[in-house]
């Protein structure tokens, strides 16, 4: 187990290096003159040169890259071009909001998706077809539009839940949940469907396996065969999609935050975009990548706990 | 950094892509109304977008503030927006940018993904590792975040964003093409081509690429949907052609500003995206269904209403059994059918037999004769959507097709061990925990299960019992796993044990051990044993009676000695003749031809086509099972006149 964990950890390091470097190079090598963009259309060459100078853009790329990487290793994500704040402080201020949405969405996706998938697999027939069709439709609905429709129904018409805004968890848990309910539903919808589909196919596959026949033949109760044995084995492919789900939910949150005016990473990104604040955006990319790599690591470790073949 | 990875497509990547039926896919697709509807919608949106863009129909950019936020009507098919512009024409006008953007992304993703995937799958080694690494990196970040970062540097440039999206989305194609290439590579013809001296690139282009195209097209359809949603999301966030040029996401954003006054406005733009993405996803599903039709076997359409409980049709006179009060299991006119091409096709038809305490009955025949299905029907484990009819009495209890009716029987009265011990045990639990759970299910107190589990393992001849109890199945050898499976089957003290080719998957040396164990256990417990095998040597060695099956029906049944002394059915004789005599494998004569598949079974003698003694009479009518005395039954019209020579097998045994 320990050996596996260390091996898996060793793979995460080049991953992180690769993603961060790719992000840096992407933002610095695209054919664009960021100084020109920041200065505006009718800026004089002197102003543009001044901007370039102040941002250090006139230094060679490799020098900037090495310096940036060095900073990264010390947890220094640089400072905003706009207000001189450190990028890290901006991220730390907004990340809890986005994380709230992502974690709640993940929980919702599990709580709804896994039972839906199991029921569809077990019952078959018309119920199965109905559930599968709903997931197909849900996968085609853009989360931001779903968010707007939810606002229309539950905020504007029924007036049950707030349409916009955010209250931190530590300030008032009840209000926190009320404000996040609709955004979470909008973000989670796609993940509920994919986890349901994944669970369904994993359950169908496992229930047709020889070991299930052996268990049934030995007189084991059907409840145990399905929920203890088949579901435990189906957990591996379901868990494996969680890394992908985390990426999807983060991306979903970034858009949906705009619908509900929730001050998370999405809004932070949009503000930085409007100001062409490259260090901020780069920092967000790197922090997200770290989060994803860590989640994938945890998922793999969980998988190895569930699946004895990985462990030994 | 892939987009909201479409699960419709991720499942596809895992699918092995070997045999693909390519003939007439287009025609078959066009026969499915749903697929036609999807295609029609996509075509209508595409053509509409091009036409409206090219000819500026309906004045999508013209403001008319006097007529703002109108509901649908004669003038404006889908109403007007905040500035009084016609929503319908704006949707189609804006479709151009949305669709073209998504198409650019997908084309780049396919080109890049296919190239890298082919290289990784074909060359393997370091190239594969690098491609894998690239793919892992590409799926690490949410696409929308990367695209927003690109926009931070590039400004509002939707085309640059779409190009980057193409790079990100190539990840799923790398994986898909890599898997397809690897499997195509394994195929014989590629090996043959390599031997013939074709160069690498030519092998790829001629032999591998064609196999990869189908899955790529399917995934491409769904990827287009994903790209469309991402593109709309960017539009919603304000990226895209500057106003007043419309795009779908931007129109939703405009509608959101007016949703307090005119909520209707959200519907056209939203539904446009939903329906188009849905059409693309469904089209991918339809394509996959048709291309891999053999796999999904569109047979589920058979009305499951036919799943009535065992119909008590009186068995034909010739197949009647004398009632046996000691019988552990009695099957009368047992038929197992599976739906295929819209009708129920029997794989076991009208089988009747009985097993008593102390019997060791062999069920023999080639693969595909229905031996396993007969055995599974006996224990109520025919997989869905199979249907069992006929009369079945197990342990004095009449059982029906419903799973509940076997509840008190399985494990305690009748048990099963199967062919592949390595997959027959739950991989996620230790041997000990499964055994103890089974024991508790048979009513044992928890505290006693540990000792009994160890006892069972010792009984099946396992050394180092404690170690095995703590082991997971994958840590055991095949023979050891089969012993564990036997211990599990015996955990409820069954009266009848069904062993479905228990040694086929094992090493030769282990085979004998397992058979010895089974015989030994049978002798100790006096239980009935139904042994499915094609090894007639084993049959002669340990069984008391044999049932020979061919093409789903019993062709001969007799006690061992009379059967081997004088087989009555040509098939039995042929089976004996094709069994290697001890080690004299050299002169192995097989039976010519193969067992016909269930849908091809003739109404007359099913063996006639392969029988060297077949006459007109064999091909004119169904043959019934007739008795030749002393419990010897045979299904052959010429049984009386033929003098089938028993092979040397029995002689060599004794």
Q: One digit per residue, pLDDT tens: chain A, 312 residues?
A: 678 888 888 888 888 888 899 889 888 877 777 777 777 777 788 888 887 777 777 788 888 888 888 888 888 888 888 888 889 999 999 999 999 999 999 999 999 999 999 999 998 889 999 999 999 999 999 999 999 999 999 988 898 988 888 888 888 999 999 999 999 999 999 999 999 999 999 999 999 899 999 999 998 888 999 999 999 999 888 888 888 899 999 999 999 999 999 999 999 999 999 888 889 999 999 999 999 999 988 888 888 887 777 665
Contact A162, A155 (CB under 8 A): yes
Q: What is the interface pTM, i.e. ipTM, of the complex?
A: 0.91
Indicate the pairing of strand B414-417 with strand B496-500. Answer: parallel
Task: Give the model's pLDDT for residue A206.
Answer: 92
Task: Give the model's pLDDT for residue B33.
Answer: 87
Q: Is B411 on the interface with A (CB under 8 A)?
A: yes
Sheet holding B633-634, edge to edge: B414-417, B496-500, B528-533, B360-364, B545-550, B553-559, B633-634, B626-627
Please judge whether B426 and A214 are an interchain contact, meaning their C-beta atoms are less than 8 angstroms apart. Answer: yes
Provide the shortest C-alpha distance from residue A165 to chain B (in Å): 16
Contacts of B288 (CB under 8 A, 6+ apart): B12, B218
Structure pTM? 0.83
Mutation pick from B9, B131, B140, B373 vs chain A, by most beta carbons of A within 10 Å, is B140
Provide the shortest C-alpha distance from residue B488 to chain A (in Å): 7
Separation of first and last alpha carbons in chain B: 71
Collect all residues of chain A within an 8 Å Cβ-Cβ radius of residue B285.
136
Contact B557, B632 (CB under 8 A): yes
- Residue A240's closest chain B neighbor by CA? B10
Contact B511, B519 (CB under 8 A): no
Q: Which of A211, A272, A288 sits opposite B141 (nearest CB)?
A: A288
Q: Which of A15, A216, A252 sits opposite B140 (nearest CB)?
A: A15
Please judge whether A241 and B384 are an interchain contact, meaning their C-beta atoms are less than 8 angstroms apart. Answer: no
Is residue B19 predicted with pLDDT exceeding 60? Answer: no
Q: What is the overall mean pLDDT for chain B?
A: 82
Q: Is B132 on the interface with A (CB under 8 A)?
A: no
Q: pLDDT for B110-126, tens place per residue?
A: 999 999 998 898 888 89
Mutation pick from B10, B35, B137 vs chain A, by most beta carbons of A within 10 Å, is B137
C-alpha dihedral (B532, B535, B536, B539), degrees to nearest 10: -50
Collect all residues of chain A within an 8 Å Cβ-Cβ radius of residue B160.
30
- Residue B436's closest chain A neighbor by CA? A220
Collect all residues of chain B within an 8 Å Cβ-Cβ radius of residue A273.
148, 151-152
Contacts of B639 (CB under 8 A, 6+ apart): B568, B569, B626, B628
The tokens for A295 are 């989640």
Mutation pick from B2, B7, B269 vs chain A, by most beta carbons of A within 10 Å, is B7
CA neighbor of B93 nearest in space, from B226, B236, B250: B250
Q: Is B59 on the interface with A (CB under 8 A)?
A: no
Provide the shortest C-alpha distance from residue A177 to chain B (in Å): 24
Q: Is B259 on the interface with A (CB under 8 A)?
A: yes
Provide the shortest C-alpha distance from residue B44 to chain A (in Å): 18
User: What is d(CA B114, CA B121) in angstroms, rounded to the nearest whole number?
Assistant: 10
Collect all residues of chain A within an 8 Å Cβ-Cβ radius of residue B442.
219
Q: Is B154 on the interface with A (CB under 8 A)?
A: yes
Please judge whether B259 and A152 are an interchain contact, meaning their C-beta atoms are less than 8 angstroms apart. Answer: yes
Task: Give the model's pLDDT for residue B293.
Answer: 57
User: What is d(CA B15, CA B113) in angstroms, rounded to the nearest whole number?
Assistant: 17
Contact B621, B581 (CB under 8 A): no
Is residue B301 predicted with pLDDT exceeding 80? Answer: no
User: What is d(CA B24, CA B137) in angstroms, rounded to the nearest whole number?
Assistant: 39
Collect all residues of chain A within an 8 Å Cβ-Cβ radius of residue B148.
254, 269-270, 273, 281
Count of pairs with CB atoms under 8 A, one residue in A, one in B: 253
Contact A7, A14 (CB under 8 A): no
Task: Output DSSP code: residue B302.
Answer: S
Q: Which of A139, A224, A292 sits opposite B437 (nearest CB)?
A: A224
User: What is d(CA A216, CA A220) in angstroms, rounded to the nearest whole number?
Assistant: 5
Residue B388 φ/ψ region, left for φ over 0, alpha for ψ in the -120 to 50 degree band, beta for the rest? beta
Task: Give the model's pLDDT for residue B315.
Answer: 37
């Amino acid at each position: 187990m320990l050996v596996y964990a260390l091996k898996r950890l060793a793979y995460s390091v080049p991953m992180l290096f690769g993603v961060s470097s790719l992000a840096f190079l992407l933002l610095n090598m695209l054919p664009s003159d960021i100084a020109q963009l920041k200065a505006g259309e009718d800026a004089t060459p002197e102003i543009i040169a001044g901007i370039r100078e102040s941002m250090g853009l006139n230094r060679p790329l490799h020098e900037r890259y090495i310096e940036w990487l060095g900073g990264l290793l010390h947890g220094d994500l640089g400072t905003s071009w706009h207000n001189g704040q450190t990028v890290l402080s901006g991220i730390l201020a907004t990340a809890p909001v986005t994380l709230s949405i992502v974690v709640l969405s993940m929980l919702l996706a599990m709580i709804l998706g896994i039972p839906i998938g199991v029921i569809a697999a077990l019952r078959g027939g018309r119920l199965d077809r109905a559930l599968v069709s709903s997931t197909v439709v849900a996968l085609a609905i853009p989360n931001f539009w779903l968010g707007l429709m939810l606002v229309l129904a539950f905020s504007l018409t029924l007036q049950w839940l707030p349409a916009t805004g955010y209250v931190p968890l530590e300030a008032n848990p009840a209000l926190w949940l009320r404000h996040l309910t609709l955004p979470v539903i909008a973000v989670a919808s796609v993940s509920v469907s994919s986890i349901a589909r994944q669970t369904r196919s994993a359950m169908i596959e496992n229930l047709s396996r020889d070991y299930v026949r052996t268990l049934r033949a030995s007189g084991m109760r059907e409840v145990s065969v399905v929920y203890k044995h088949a579901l435990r084995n189906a957990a591996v492919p379901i868990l494996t999609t969680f890394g992908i789900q985390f990426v999807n939910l983060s991306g979903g949150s970034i858009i949906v935050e705009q619908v509900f005016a929730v001050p998370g990473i999405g809004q932070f990104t949009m503000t930085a975009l409007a100001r062409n604040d490259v260090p901020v955006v780069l920092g967000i990319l790197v922090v997200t990548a770290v989060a994803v790599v860590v989640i994938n690591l945890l998922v793999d470790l969980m998988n190895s706990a569930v699946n004895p073949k990985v462990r030994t | 950094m892939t987009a909201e990875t479409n699960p419709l497509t991720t499942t596809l990547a895992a699918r092995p892509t070997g045999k693909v039926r390519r003939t007439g896919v287009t025609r078959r697709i066009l026969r499915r109304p749903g697929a036609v509807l999807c295609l029609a919608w996509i075509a209508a949106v595409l053509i509409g977008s091009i036409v409206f863009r090219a000819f500026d129909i309906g004045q999508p950019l013209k403001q008319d503030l006097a007529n703002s936020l109108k509901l649908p009507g004669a003038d404006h098919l889908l109403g007007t927006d905040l500035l009084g512009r016609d929503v319908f024409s704006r949707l189609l006008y804006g479709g151009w940018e949305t669709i073209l953007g998504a198409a650019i992304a997908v084309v780049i993703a396919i080109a890049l993904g296919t190239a890298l995937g082919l290289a990784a799958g074909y060359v393997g080694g370091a190239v594969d590792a690098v491609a894998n690494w690239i793919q892992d990196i590409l799926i690490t970040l949410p696409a929308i975040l990367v695209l927003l970062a690109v926009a931070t540097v590039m400004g509002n440039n939707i085309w640059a964003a779409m190009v980057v999206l193409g790079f990100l989305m190539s990840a799923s194609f790398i994986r898909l093409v890599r898997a397809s290439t690897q499997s195509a590579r394994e195929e014989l013809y590629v090996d043959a081509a390599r031997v013939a001296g074709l160069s690498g690139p030519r092998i790829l282009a001629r032999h591998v690429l064609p196999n990869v195209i189908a899955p790529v097209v399917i995934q491409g359809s769904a990827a287009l949907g994903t790209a469309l949603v991402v593109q709309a999301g960017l539009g919603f966030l304000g990226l895209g052609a500057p106003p007043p040029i419309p795009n779908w996401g931007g129109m939703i954003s405009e509608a959101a500003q007016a949703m307090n006054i005119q909520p209707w406005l959200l519907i056209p733009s939203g539904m446009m995206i939903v329906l188009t993405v849905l059409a693309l996803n469904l089209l991918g599903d339809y394509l996959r269904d048709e291309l891999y039709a053999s796999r999904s076997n569109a047979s589920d359409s058979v009305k499951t209403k036919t799943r009535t409980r065992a119909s008590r049709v009186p068995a034909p006179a010739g197949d009647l059994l004398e009632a046996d009060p000691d019988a552990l299991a009695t099957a009368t006119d047992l038929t197992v059918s599976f739906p295929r091409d819209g009708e129920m096709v029997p794989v076991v038809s009208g089988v009747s037999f009985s097993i008593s305490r102390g019997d060791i009955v062999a069920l023999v025949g080639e693969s595909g004769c229905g031996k396993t299905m007969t055995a599974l029907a006996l224990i109520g484990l025919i997989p869905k959507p199979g249907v069992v009819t006929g009369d079945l009495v197990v342990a004095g209890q009449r059982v029906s097709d419903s799973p509940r009716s076997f509840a008190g029987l399985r494990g305690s009265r009748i048990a099963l061990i199967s062919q592949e011990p390595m997959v027959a045990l739950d991989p996620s639990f230790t041997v000990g925990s499964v055994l103890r759970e089974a024991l508790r299910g048979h009513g044992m107190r928890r505290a006693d299960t540990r000792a009994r589990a160890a006892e069972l393992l010792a009984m099946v001849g396992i050394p180092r019992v404690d170690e095995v109890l703590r082991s997971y199945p994958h840590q055991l050898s095949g023979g050891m796993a089969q012993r564990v499976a036997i211990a599990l089957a015996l955990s409820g003290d069954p009266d009848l044990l069904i062993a479905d080719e228990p040694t086929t998957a094992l090493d030769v040396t282990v085979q004998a051990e397992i058979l010895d164990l089974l015989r030994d256990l049978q002798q100790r417990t006096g239980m009935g044993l139904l042994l499915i095998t094609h090894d007639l040597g084993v049959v002669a060695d340990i069984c008391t009676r044999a049932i020979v099956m061919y093409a789903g029906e019993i062709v001969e049944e007799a006690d061992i000695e009379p059967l081997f002394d004088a087989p009555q059915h040509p098939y039995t004789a042929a089976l004996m003749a094709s069994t290697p005599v001890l080690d004299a494998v050299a002169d192995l004569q097989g039976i010519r031809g193969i067992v016909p598949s269930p849908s091809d079974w003739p109404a007359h003698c099913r063996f006639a086509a392969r029988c060297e003694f077949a006459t007109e009479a064999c091909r004119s009518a169904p043959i019934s099972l007739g008795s030749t005395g002393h419990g010897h039954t045979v299904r052959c019209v010429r049984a009386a006149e033929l003098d089938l020579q028993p092979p040397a097998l029995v002689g060599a045994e004794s």
